[in-house]
Amino acid sequence: MESPSRRNVLMAGGALGALGALTAAAPAQASSLWTWSPKGSVAGAGEGADPKWVWDEVADPLVASLIDRGDVPKVNDLLKTWTKNGQALPAGLPADLRDFIEEARKLPSWADHGKLATAFEFNQKRGLYLGVTYGFASGMMSTAIPKEARAVYYSKGGADMKDRITKTAKLGYDIGTEKAFEPDGEMIVTCVKTRLAHAGVRHLLPQSPAWTKVADEQVPISQADMMVTWHSLPTTVMQNLVKWKVPIPAAESTAFLHSWQVTAHMLGILDEYIPNSWDEANAQAKQVLTPILAPTPEGIKLADILLNLGSVIDGGILTKGVLGALTRFLLGDEIAGWLKIQREPVWDTLITTLWPPFIAVREGILDLTKAPKELREIYWAFDEILRQAALFFLSEAQYPISIQIPTTNRPA
Binding site for ligand HEM (CB under 6 A): 21-22, 24-25, 147-148, 151-152, 155-157, 164, 167-168, 171, 194, 197-198, 201, 220-221, 225-226, 229-230, 267, 403, 406
d(CA 208, CA 396): 29
Q: How far is the CB of 116 from ligand HEM (least distance, A)?
A: 17
Nearer residue to ligand HEM within complex by CB, 198 or 387: 198
Distance of alpha carbon 197 from alpha carbon 156, whole angstroms: 11
- For the chain, the helix, strand and coil percentages under 3-state DSSP, each to the nearest 5: 65, 0, 35
Measured from the CB atom, the residue of 310 and 406 that comes closer to ligand HEM is 406
Q: Could you tell me if 347 and 321 are in contact, meaning their C-beta atoms sit under 8 angstroms apart?
A: yes
How is residue 372 annotated by DSSP? Answer: -
In terms of CB distance, is 168 or 236 closer to ligand HEM? 168
Q: How far is the CB of 271 from ligand HEM (least distance, A)?
A: 14
Nearest distance in Å: CB 36, ligand HEM: 16
Distance CA 116, CA 311 (A): 35
How near is the Cβ of 20 to ligand HEM at its closest, in Å?
8
Which H or E element spans position 363? none
CA–CA dist 194, 200 (Å, integer):
10
Closest distance between ligand HEM and the C-beta of residue 158, in Å? Answer: 7
- Cβ nearer to ligand HEM, comparing 40 with 220: 220
Q: How far is the CB of 402 from ligand HEM (least distance, A)?
A: 9
Closer by beta carbon to ligand HEM, 225 or else 348: 225
- Closest chain position to ligand HEM (CB): 157
DSSP string for 48-105: ---GGG---TTHHHHHHHHHHTT-HHHHHHHHTT--STTSPPPTT--HHHHHHHHHHT
* Residue 59 C-beta: closest distance to ligand HEM, Å: 13
DSSP codes of every residue in 237-292: HHHHHHHTT----HHHHHHHHHHHHHHHHHTT--GGGSBSSHHHHHHHHHHHTGGG
Q: How far is the CB of 233 from ligand HEM (least distance, A)?
A: 6
CB-based contact 169:10 (threshold 8 Å)? no
Q: How many CA atoms lie within 13 A of 389 on its CB side?
A: 29
Residue 26: phi and psi, rounded to 5, are -95, 135
What minimum distance in Å lies between the beta carbon of 159 and ligand HEM?
A: 9
Q: CA 87, 89, 91 angle in degrees (round to 5)?
A: 135
Residue whose CB is less far from ligand HEM, 139 or 220: 220
Identity of the residue, 115 or 147, whose beta carbon is nearer to ligand HEM in the bound complex? 147
Closest CA to 120 of 167, 168, 164, 184: 184
Closest to ligand HEM by CB, 148 vs 271, is: 148
Nearer to ligand HEM, 253 or 402 (CB): 402
* Cα dihedral 113→118→119→125 (10° resolution): 160
